[in-house]
Amino acid sequence: MSRRRPLVIGHRGAPGYRPEHTVASYELALDLGVDAVEPDVVFSKDGVAVIRHENEIGSTTDVADHPEFASRRVTKEVDGVSRTGWFVEDFTWDELATLRCRERLPHLRPRSAEFDDRHPILRLRELLDLVTSAGEREARTVGVVLEVKHATYFASLGYDVAGLLAAELQDAGWNSGARQLVVESFEQRILHRMRDRGIRARYIYLLEAEGRAADLLAAQGSDAPTYAEQLTKDGLGRLGREVDGISLDKRIILEQPGIVADAHRRGLDVYTWTCRPENAFLSSEFRRGPDAESFGDWEGEWQRIADAGVDGVFVDHPDLGVGFFGRSGTDR
């Protein structure tokens, strides 16, 4: 039996080989043939859309080595979690541009860490232009899966998150529907706001295996539904009327393979994150050997995910992802 292959998305570029969210990471992902790349977006003090996995940047940049920024190390509560470090919203873009990126997981990915301190932080506009150029150069469609991070938190600081992103996308020529744009978030309300702004995209709601969405917690407190409750048949029915798709922690799919078909019956696309080959990230049955950084039976786990019928997969190693999921059908 054959079926359309899933979209292969370079998760933060190619972070299995280069520090995440750097130009080198994205260029490598594009060179290795991904269908799309996934930037995470947060905001600087002066409203620039900055590509970082989190607004705390102590573990992914050299900010701690800059004595001029030592006093900006603080503790904040972000989406109910206490974090200590340096935060993008406390820096102007010009200040952030002086920093250099570092591998987030050097103990697992020492080869990637060899590229530390070489590349500056990226703005969203720079990545949009990079993807546009790559698509034109290679004469193929290359998409962007834009993840909006901590929208409720930034709104509490006075940021018009949807407005800032709408302006950026329009200026870059990514707002017309002519390019393959997906907007995703763990907070459904920002998806609605961006759609209301006229951003033409597919809207994907991210769900974790545990917990509740930050925007629902802020609005409803303990009455907020859990992610698990949102994934019941009734919950999927509601989501099918509100978003174009869902993106699930792969643990959900491995433990509930029927959930993909349930979502499809309600008109939802289903993506999953993140397909990684290292033992540290594999489910226990697919780990091989004692070393966390060694590759386990990643093909076995990925086959289970492919067989569930997902529409998109996020990968850290684009060559492996394109090679594995690029083969159409479920029979390999």
pLDDT at residue 15, as a whole number: 98
CB 101 within 8 A of CB 53: no
CATH architecture of 7-55+124-325: Alpha-Beta Barrel (3.20)
Q: Enumerate the domain spans of the chain.
A: 7-55+124-325
What global pTM score does this model have?
0.96
Q: Which residues 6+ apart lie within 8 Å of 291 measured at CB? A: 279
More confident call, 61 vs 257 = 61
SS3 149: coil
Instruction: Give residue-wise pLDDT tens across range 258-267.
Output: 999 999 999 9
Please give the average per-residue pLDDT across 39-66, as a whole number.
Answer: 98
Predicted pLDDT of residue 176: 87
Which residue did the predictor score with more confidence, 326 or 252?
Answer: 252
Q: How confident is the model at residue 257 (pLDDT cuts 50, 70, 90)?
A: confident
Residue 125 burial class via C-beta count within 10 angstroms: exposed 0-12, middle 13-18, buried 19 and up:
middle
Whether omega for the bond prior to residue 272 falls within 30 degrees of 0, making it cis, is no
Residue 3's pLDDT is 52
Query: What integer pLDDT is reported at residue 329 of this predicted model?
Result: 47
Tell me the C-alpha distance between 82 and 76, whole Å: 6
Mean pLDDT, range 103-128, rounded to an integer:
98
User: pLDDT tens across 82-92, in order?
Assistant: 999 999 999 99
The C-alpha atoms of residue 206 and residue 135 are separated, in whole angstroms, by 26
Structure tokens that stand for 49 in this block: 């859309």
Confidence at residue 2, expressed as pLDDT on a 0 to 100 scale: 42
CB atoms within 10 A of CB 325: 22
| b/e code 37-69 from CB counts within 10 Å (16+ = b) | bbbbbbbbeebbbbbbbbbbbbbbbebeeeeeb
At 330, the pLDDT band (50, 70, 90 cuts) reads very low
Compute the average pLDDT of residues 16-41. 98
Q: Taking a C-beta distance cutoff of 8 angstroms, is the pair 146, 39 a contact? A: yes
How far apart CA 68 and CA 304 sit, in angstroms, is 50
Query: What is the per-residue pLDDT across 185-231, written as a single tens digit (0 to 9) for each?
Result: 999 999 999 999 999 999 999 999 999 999 999 999 999 999 999 99
With a cut of 60, say whether residue 142 has pLDDT above it: yes
Mean pLDDT of 76-97: 97
pLDDT tens digits, residue range 280-324? 999 999 999 999 999 999 999 999 999 999 999 999 999 999 999
Confidence of residue 326 (pLDDT cuts 50, 70, 90): confident
CB atoms within 10 A of CB 223: 9
Q: Which contacts of 64-70 are long-range, i.e. CB under 8 A and separated by 24 or more positions?
A: 66/98, 66/99, 69/95
Rounded-to-integer distance, Cα 38 and Cα 144, Å? 6
User: Can you read off the two tokens belonging to residue 81?
Assistant: 């979690």
Question: Residues 220, 247: contact at Cβ < 8 Å?
Answer: no
Q: Element (H or E) spanning 123, and its range?
A: strand 122-123
